[in-house]
Structure 1
Amino acid sequence: MSTFTGTGRLILFILRRDRIRMTVWTLSLVGSMFMVIPTLADMFATPEQRMARATIMETPTGIVFGGPGYGLEEYGLGAMVANEMTQSLLVALAVMGILHVVRHTRAEEESGRAELLRANVLGSSAQITAALVTNALVSGAIGALITVSMVVNGLPLADSAAYGAGLALAGVVFGAVAAVCAQVSGYARGASGLAFLVIGVLFMFRVVGDIAERGGSAPSWFSPFAWVQQTRAFDDLRWWPLALYVLVIAVLFAVAYVLADRRDLGAGLVAARPGPAGAGPLLNGVLALHLRQQRASIIAWTVAVALFALAFGTLVTEIDGMAEQNPEIMARMGLTGEGMIEAFLGVLTLYIVMPTAAFAVLSVLRTRAEEDSGRAELVLSAAVGRLRWMGSAVLVSALSGMVMMFLGGLVMGVGAASVTGDTAWIRVVAEAGAAQIPVVLMFAGLTTLFLGVAPRLVGLVWAWFAYGLFVTIFGLLMDLPDWMVHVGPFEIVALLPTEEFAPVPYLAVLAGAVAAAAVGLAGFRRRDLVTA
């Protein structure tokens, strides 16, 4: 029997098992590109408006979020799309690839399902191959459809093809990184965390290299986040940087297979260290246990939100230039008059709420993973009540989200104060962040509600979150009706300092979050535990 025996059937099984996930990822990324291209064409219709946008892309913040900035001398639509969308698409592909590959390799071993499959006619390399192939298939589909979306919107075929191919190859690289990390760690959570750490370091290489020199410097070339834009699509197209993806993919695949052959099934190359014989004072109780289990993700998300908030705060110096070059667009966004900076910071506050709310959902969802794996059943078999166990997890999520939201506003105020010299912004923006805390708690409460009452429907929380992202980002630009915008989760409470503080919606959302969590906890207490 070959080590690849059964790979084809396993590929078909994964495609069927993850058909909804893959479809959602594909439609989300491709749909975003379909909508963004005509939106940017309308927003920046004149050469003057496009050059004003190019000036922003030359700032440090623009480089962080946009890349090296090719084509800024004569800023056309294609170059604008590449600069505006590439890094966001690459981050999304990295998240997709890591979650997919770890889910079908290390998580399968951790759950014991891989051992059951291996007991039948399935080669030792079939699972890792199937995971990598299916990730490559969905990445290739996304890249191809993005190419089509560009061509349909009038962008050159060759440049669009190079850009789509770069995205697809980058997605394969990110999946291969996850495959290597899955051999190192003995746990899915550890493999995912290690892979995200590697991706974060690679992203910072790109940032440092692009900031050091216009068009990128030596550190940039060590990062797959740079190679797509180094093709200089829609400026001075060159195909050879894509060969770097092919080379790295070959190396990572080889390393993953070699490492997989050197370890036992279910074990990682790095053995888990035995813990202390007795628990310390900081690990006394269920609340402390949940906090310890999530400490790494809490720290990582908080640092990431703080860094983005600081970068957002420094953008206030660009507001006058944007208002002069794009008065119509700024007016549609409410960024006019003497309170322009306040309105601008209010809009940016929403981009702190979004990742914090996502963290709150993921934090509560960890209880579902504990339940599926059977670990929750072990804990609850001791002298630990269901309300205490689940309630402690929700409390950790709520407290972490509150701290993250307030700190994000505070740091964004520090960024604004550092470039304007006015320290009053620190207090103003910190209050704006605090005013959005009920939104974060609402997502934690809704997730608890669905987990307790209808776990299979918890995806509705993500659906509402995605809807909120869409109407918040594209609502004004696409002239969506007001009712569609206000139904979104990020438009419920007053947006300080742009709007006056309204206590009634604030307290109503807060009360709704508490009520949803209470109903969810009651439902969790009554329903049966379910293990995967």
Structure 2
Amino acid sequence: MNAFAGTGNLIRFVLRRDRLRLSVWVIALAATVAASVPALDDMFTTDAERQGRAALMDTPTGIVFGGPGYGLDDYQLGPMLVNELTMTLLIALAVFNVLHVVRHTRAEEESGRAELLRAAPVGSGAQPASALITAAAADLLIGALIFASMAGYGLAAADSFAYGLGIGLAGVVFAAVAAVCTQISEHGRTAAGTAFLVVGVLFMARVVGDVSEPGGNALSWLSPFAWVQQARPFDGLEWWPLALYPAAAAVLFAVAHTLAGRRDLGAGLVATRPGPSGAGPLLRGMFALHLHQQRGAVLTWSAAVFVLALSFGTLAPEVESMIDSNPDLAVILGGDTDDLVGGFLGTIGLYVLMGAGAFGALSVLRTRAEESAGRAEMVLATAVGRTRWMGTALLVAAAATALVTVVGGLGLGLGAAVTLEDGGWAGRMVEASLAGLPAALAFGALVALLFGTVPRWIPLVWVWLGYSVFATMLGALLGLPDAAMRASAFEILPALPMDGFETAPFLLFLGAVLVAGAAGLAGFGRRDLVTA
């Protein structure tokens, strides 16, 4: 049988099944750009205002989240859009493509549905091909809409097309990365975690390369996060860097297809080790069981966040040297060197909280997966009560979220402490991470509340998380009102170390998290179990 037999039918099936999910992603990302174009044009109307913004983008924080900063000498609307929006769009596209590919490949094998499909005249490569093609179609549609919104506003058509094309092709590369990662483990969560780790490493490579040398060095060119900006839209457009995207996607897809042919259906390239014949002394009780089930994810996320945070922390000297070489930056940004280093680390700390919040939501969401698979029913048929089963799951999720948050802050602090030769940064950043812990716990608490009361509404958690990330990253730039900014979980509490700690908001937020978790626990005790 042809390896790609049945691909067309699976493409139609994926589009039918995910029509709402795909529409939300496409509309949200395209609308972000469409709204940002007039907002930025209205916000920075004079040359002086735009050059002031360019000075901010030439700081380490601006380079981390804006890229190498092409077009800063004459900061018009086109370069402004490229510098201000690219990293946000690419991170969102990476999340979308990883989740989409894992959902329609590894998750289908794990659930057993792929085996049913393969019993029909469907080739071994049809599922990954259909997942990649549908993801690529959505990516390129997003790119086309970005081109239309920019060109429709009067920006140069060729540069707008190159930018939209680059954004869309970058998404295709992320999908191909996920396709390779799905071959490694037999579990969907592990595959997604591996893909996100690879994306994080690629993002860090771009950051280190761009910060180390104006315009980026060789390390930047190893990352697909860099290529669209290296094409220099609106600043001497060069088309050839965009050719790296289809080349990389083709190579990665070929690797994924080859690896898929070397494993059995439902298995991974890395074989799962058989467990012991009997439970050890530490594997007693529900808390130990939930912790045992999530130990791999907890260790992987903690290690990944620590390494990435440590890497960002080591960039602190770049902040000092940049300010020392250009004292006007301190005047523009309004603070001394220590304050600006703290502001840089605090900004990175917000991204640590975002990662910890996503992990907390996924951790609590395992209860839903256990219920849907019927395993929860088997456990609850024994002498284990509902409160004990779900309550211990929530404790594990809360403890794991706190661990990811703290190790992220510790990584930032240690990186800064070692490179700046100031040991006080380690303690300051751990304190800052603990001060923001309620924001990270909030998403897991909301999952618990909805799981215990109206499980079909759980996707709203991801809507809130997406909005919180959007508002925190772009809200101030787009001039969102205070009420809209406060709807972000990451804008409710003061951000340390830039701001001072406030006890009352911290306790109120933490209390709301505890109430949501308790309400979800009580609701789960009253509703019927649902298996699917």
**Are residues 407 and 452 of structure 1, via their aligned partners in 2, closer, same or farther at CA, if it must alter by over 3 Å?**
same
- Aligned twin of 1:303: 306
The answer on whether the counterparts of 1:313 and 1:412 sit within 8 Å (CA) in structure 2 is: no
Change beyond 3 A, Cα 1:73–1:482 = closer
| Equivalent residues, number | 524
Distance 1:524 1:220, change over 3 A: same
Match of residue 40 from structure 2: 40
Cα RMSD for the two superposed structures: 3.6
CA contact (8 A) 2:410 2:430 kept: yes
In the superposition, the TM-score normalised over structure 2's length comes to 0.85
Aligned pairs (5 A) from 1:379-418: 379-406=379-406, 408=408
* Cα deviation, residue 213, structure 1: 3.5
Specify whether residues 443 and 107 from structure 1 end up closer, same or farther in structure 2 by C-alpha distance, changes over 3 A only.
Answer: closer
**For 2:116 and 2:26, how far apart are their aligned partners in 1?**
31
Specify the SS of the correspondent of 1:218: coil
CA distance in 1, matches of 2:436, 2:465: 15
Task: Find the aligned partners of 1:174 and 1:347 in 2 and give their Cα distance.
Answer: 25
Matches within 5 A, 1:410-489: 430-473=430-473, 475-489=475-489
Opposite residue 101 of structure 1, the aligned amino acid is V
Query: Does the CA contact (< 8 Å) of 2:307 and 2:411 recur in 1?
Result: no
After superposition, give the CA deviation of every residue in 1:272-300 in whole Å (9 maximum; x if it has no partner).
Answer: 22234444555444323333423234414
Conserved 8 A contact 1:52-1:322: no
Larger CA deviation: 168-177 vs 204-213:
204-213
Query: Does structure 1 residue 180 correspond to structure 2 residue 180?
Result: yes
Q: Structure 1-normalised TM-score?
A: 0.85
After TM superposition, give the deviation of residue 388 of structure 1 in Å.
2.5
| 1:196-218 deviation line (CA, Å, top 9, x unaligned) | 23333333333344344433333
Whole-angstrom CA distance in 2 between matches of 1:219 and 1:465:
31
Find the aligned partners of 2:207 and 2:480 in 1 and give their Cα distance: 35
Q: Which residue of 2 aligns with 1:513?
A: 513
Bigger drift between 500-509 and 94-103 goes to 500-509
Sort the Cα spacing of 1:248 and 1:444 in 2 relative to 1 into closer, same or farther, 3 A. Answer: closer
Structure-2 residue corresponding to 1:527 = 527
- Which segments of 5 or more consecutive residues in structure 1 lack a partner in the other structure? none
Aligned to 1:145: 145
Give the partner amino acid of 1:253: F
CA distance in 1, matches of 2:104, 2:478: 39
> What SS is found at the alignment partner of 1:72?
coil
CA distance in 2, matches of 1:353, 1:436: 7
Moved more, 183-192 or 475-484: 475-484
Deviation at 1:104, TM superposition (A): 0.6
Query: What's 1:365 paired with?
Result: 365
Distance in 2, Cα, partners of 1:264 & 1:95: 27
Please tell me whether the aligned partners of residues 287 and 393 of structure 1 are also in contact (alpha carbons under 8 angstroms): yes
Q: Say whether the 8 Å CA contact 2:205–2:220 is kept in structure 1.
A: yes
Correspondence 1:265 to 2:265: yes
Query: 1:54 and 1:307, CA in 2 relative to 1: closer, same or farther beyond 3 A?
Result: farther
Q: Corresponding residue for 1:214?
A: 214
Q: Measure the CA separation in 2 of the matches of 1:263 and 1:6.
A: 20
CA distance in 2, matches of 1:288, 1:400: 13
Percent identity, aligned pairs only, is 55
**2:170 aligned residue:** 170
Instruction: Supply the distance in 2 between the matched residues of 1:396 and 1:34 (Cα, whole angstroms).
Output: 41
Distance change >3 Å, CA 11–CA 344, structure 1 → 2: closer
Q: Deviations over 1:229-283 (max 9, x none)?
A: 2212111211122222222222222232233233322222332222344445554
Shift of 1:124: 3.0
Q: Using a 3 Å threshold, how does the CA distance of structure 1 residues 347 and 45 change in structure 2: closer, same or farther?
A: farther
Q: Are 1:53 and 1:322, in contact at CA under 8 Å, matched by a contact in 2?
A: no
Following TM superposition, by how much is the alpha carbon of 1:99 offset from its aligned partner in structure 2, in angstroms?
1.2
Give distance in 2, aligned partners of 1:89 and 1:497.
Answer: 27
Q: For 1:124-170, what per-residue CA distance to the aligned partner results, in whole angstroms no more than 9, with x for missing partners?
A: 33212211110111111111111122223332111111111111112
Q: CA deviation at 1:227?
A: 1.8
- When structure 1 is superposed on structure 2, of 215-224 and 514-523 the one drifting more is 215-224
AA partner of residue 105 (structure 2): T
Q: Is the 8 A contact 1:301 1:359 kept in 2?
A: no
The separation in 2 between residues aligned to 1:216 and 1:312, in whole angstroms, is 15
Change (3 A) 1:467 1:308: farther
Is the 1:312–1:412 contact (alpha carbons within 8 Å) kept by the matching residues of 2?
no
Give 5+ residue unaligned stretches, structure 2: none
Q: Distance in 1 between matches of 2:452 and 2:380?
A: 16
* Contact 1:68 1:214 (C-alpha < 8 Å) held by counterparts: yes
